[in-house]
Structure formats: structure tokens, C-alpha cells
Amino acid sequence: MSTTTTHQAPPAAPRPRRALPPLMAVSDTAAERLAALYAKGQRGKLLRIGVGSKGCSGLSYQMDWVDAPRPGDEVINDKGVTVLVDRKASLFLIGTVMDYEVKALSAGFTFSNPNEKGRCGCGESFHI
């Protein structure tokens, strides 16, 4: 009678997890504008960013000045400024960069969101 020995391979090492992108980043221009707003008219307030239902494409960015974070808000500290993100908006905003643009007839914060699949013609809303 012959005996057969079986060799089991050692257990595979767990695959390293991929680093998640930051929830949100702030451009240098947006950080400068926010710092100026925080220092003057919005002293003691924080900018809170959310996503709501609106417009042709279904979703839009919402920005509100608040006195303090709400329970569950994500606190983003980037380039010396603090921005809050509504917990419900977190999945929509992963990897987003907030910028501040000055154009000939307008100026405002913009969002470069890698999760967007499209925008409406006027640019007011987006879909994922």
C-alpha cells in the first residue's frame, strides 16, 4: 500500500488594499477665496457642501454657511481651510476638487467631480 503525501500551498498573503482617493480636495484658488470669506463676512461660519435633487439632470451641488458641523458631517481640512461635507453627499463627491473661477461676468465655486456621468446644458445639474 502506498501513501501519498499532499502538500498544501501556504495561504496567500492578503492583497494590499488600494488607497481610497480623498473625499474632496480644495484648489489653491478656492482655498484663497474661502480664507478671505472666513476672515471677513463669514467669520465663525463653515461652508457645508451637499448634493440635492434639482434641475434637468437630477442632482446639484448645495452650499450653505453653518455655525458648526452636523452629526455625521465629514470635515475636510485642505490647504489651511476647513469645509464640511454632508454625509449623504459623500458617495457622490469622492475624488471631487472644489475650485474658484473668475470669468468676465461671473465668479463662483466650481466642482470637478470624477463621478459625474453628464451635466445638463446650462450646467446647473449633473447625474451620476
- In this model, does residue 65 exceed pLDDT 70? yes
Examine residue 63 and state whether it is found in any structural domain, yes or no: yes
* CATH number, domain with residue 87: 2.60.300.12
- As for how many domains the chain has, the answer is 1
Residue 98 CA to residue 17 CA, distance in Å, equals 27
In a domain, 11, yes or no: no
Its domain, for residue 70, covers 24-121
pTM, rounded to two decimals? 0.75
Residue 64 to residue 80: CA distance in whole angstroms: 19
The 10s digit of each residue's pLDDT in 68-110 is 999 999 999 999 999 999 999 888 888 999 999 998 888 899 8
Instruction: Calculate the average pLDDT of the chain.
Output: 83
Examine residue 3 and state whether it is found in any structural domain, yes or no. no
